[in-house]
């Protein structure tokens, strides 16, 4: 199990592609009329998916209310540290690389942290543990997303009136986090477990055209989660 990508629900793939590739200098992996994603030296990818397309895929479970604030921290060589806003008004925080890696000079690019504002960090923490994430050391509300990426939970009420809120995306947009499992059987078992917890789902797991057996859930705070495993050669 690992966090495979973090996908921002956007309104214009071309504008997003131009911004993340040309302005931020990220390396694009794939691009089509509804989707684009960008790779780092390690860890999860950063992706963009058109709202009408993802809403159709998630179905009736797609959140109807605005999304809560969230923050993505990207470590990018030569980037000017601080918040930056993309064409859809999503705010990302750029930071200098913190460790050694494959790029010249020992720098590396990665999605270092995903910080989610939630109603109840304890409840969301239990959900993350059900997905298979383990708590990171030193903080009960930080979870290991794999390859050094952290999923951090912050109580939404604590951000109200705080200067810290300025570094969060707070435009009411949505984000999806994709969790990759090893087998289709694991996807089916987790779907059954999450459905039993009362979470809204897109439906029973199915094999999609890109070769993954997937299902989509929306948690009580409106965050979308893709649960999938590769079962066919990706197309």
- What does 44-87 look like in DSSP terms, one character per residue? -EEEEEEHHHHHHHHGGGS--SPPPPEEEEEE-TTPPSEEEE-T
The predicted model scores a pTM of 0.92
Residue ranges per structural domain of the chain: 2-175
Both structure tokens of 142: 């930080």
Mean pLDDT value of segment 81-106:
78
The fold of 2-175 is: 2,3-Dihydroxybiphenyl 1,2-Dioxygenase; domain 1 (3.10.180)
Mean pLDDT value of segment 83-112:
79
Integer-rounded Cα radius of gyration of the chain: 17
DSSP class of residue 204 equals S
What mean pLDDT, rounded, does the chain reach? Answer: 91
Q: Is the predicted pLDDT of residue 103 greater than 70, yes or no?
A: no
* Contact indicator for 63, 218 with CB cutoff of 8 Å: yes
**66 vs 88: CA distance, rounded Å:** 14
Beta strand pairing call for 142-146 and 110-118: unpaired
Both structure tokens of 152: 């951090």
pLDDT digits (tens, 9 = 90+) for 20-41: 999 999 999 999 999 999 999 8
Mean pLDDT value of segment 123-139:
90
Where do we find the tokens 């999503």?
90
Q: pLDDT at position 38, please?
A: 96
Q: Is the predicted pLDDT of residue 78 greater than 60, yes or no?
A: yes
pLDDT digits (tens, 9 = 90+) for 185-226: 999 999 999 999 888 899 999 998 888 999 999 999 999 999
Q: pLDDT at position 102, please?
A: 40
Adjacent-strand bridge partners of 207: 213
């Amino acid at each position: 199990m690992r966090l495979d990508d973090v996908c921002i629900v956007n309104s214009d793939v071309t504008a997003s592609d131009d911004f993340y590739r040309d302005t931020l200098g990220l390396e694009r992996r794939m691009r089509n009329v509804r989707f684009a994603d960008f790779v780092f030296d390690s860890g999860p990818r950063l992706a963009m998916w058109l709202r009408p397309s993802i809403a159709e895929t998630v179905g009736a479970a797609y959140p109807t209310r605005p999304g809560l604030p969230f923050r993505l921290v990207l470590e990018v060589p030569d980037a000017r540290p601080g918040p930056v806003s993309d064409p859809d008004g999503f705010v990302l925080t750029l930071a200098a690389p913190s460790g050694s890696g494959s790029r010249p000079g020992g720098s590396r690019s990665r999605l270092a942290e995903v910080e989610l504002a939630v109603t109840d960090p304890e409840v969301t923490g239990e959900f993350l543990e059900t997905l298979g994430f383990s708590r990171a050391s030193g903080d009960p509300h930080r979870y290991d997303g794999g390859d050094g990426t952290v999923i951090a939970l912050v109580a939404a009420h604590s951000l109200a009136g705080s200067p810290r809120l300025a570094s969060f995306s707070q435009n009411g947009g949505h984000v999806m986090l994709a969790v990759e499992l090893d087998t289709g059987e694991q996807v089916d078992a987790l779907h059954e477990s999450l459905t039993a917890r009362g979470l809204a789902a897109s439906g029973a797991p199915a094999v999609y055209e890109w070769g993954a057996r997937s299902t989509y859930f929306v948690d009580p705070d409106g965050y979308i989660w893709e649960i999938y495993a590769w079962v066919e050669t990706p197309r």
